[in-house]
Structure 1
Amino acid sequence: MQQENIVRKTTKLAFAFIALAGAIGTAAYADESSRGDGRDGMTMRLNKVMKDSNGTITFDQFSDAMDSRLKKMVADNGGKLTVEQLADALEKARFEQMAKRIIARYDAKGDGTLTADDITAREKKVFAMLDRNNDGKIEKSELPGRIGQHGQGGGSDNDDDSSMQ
């Protein structure tokens, strides 16, 4: 009976750890999987461990396969991680991911930096794509559906569209 309780407790802890790792992985490290939910990366790591260990995984193997970044964050903060510290780390990771995507989208030279020339080059490219009749002006009818719809944002045709710069 005591052995059964230990197994149940260990199983519950393992599932709790999976849920926690998945939640942290989803929010902070969405780049690990194409779906952005962190599950593919975890599944790949667990499949590798299972393959390397003849189809079974011990808790120690499971723990080693999980993302160690959360454990490192706890260790780096004196063995405890507050909501504020975790939120700051998640926010930083999210904004770093956004910054990487923006740099990749605008960086014309591919050197990992963003310059005013890169921004202008990107704007010219997008403008040219929107100016379908090549008259040097974008008319409302040339805007993509969501942007060019009447009453966008609760306004009317007479509203100033300066927010679309």
Structure 2
Amino acid sequence: MTASRLNLQRVSPKVYQAMIALHAAAAENLDPTLAGLIMIRASQLNHCAFCVDMHTHDARQAGETEQRIYLLSAWEEAGTAFTEREQAALALTESITELIGRGHVPDEVYARAAAVFSETELAQVISMATVINAWNRIGVTTRKRPPLRR
């Protein structure tokens, strides 16, 4: 396994600070539990070990259950473990994350989210999914590794 590459925070502090500001704006007025699920799921799909570790740790600290964290990778098959709003946000997050393979966000996925979120809430969900995808790409590209917790 190759070691971490560059440290974006050190090498490009203006970009790093802009990402922090963008993340804070995306999180504004977004339910923290929902934001956590969005960040974990996109990070799983993007294979960003650092972000999966960080956001699952943060979710646990915020009171998220182990069961829901474990079920997140199979949320569509998890029955009522996730609310309709959470399921709509997760479906939208997956579509945003997988744009390269799909080429678009399907109308039915967008409509499902639009049906359960206000326009402002939907903007925040889209923004959070977009921001975590950017963080994931930074983490994967620079091979940022999670700290080992034993």
Tell whether the structures are fold-level matches, with TM greater than 0.5. no
Shorter-chain TM-score tier = under 0.3
TM-score, normalized by length of structure 2?
A: 0.24
Of the two, which has the highest radius of gyration? Answer: 1
TM-score, normalized by length of structure 1?
A: 0.22
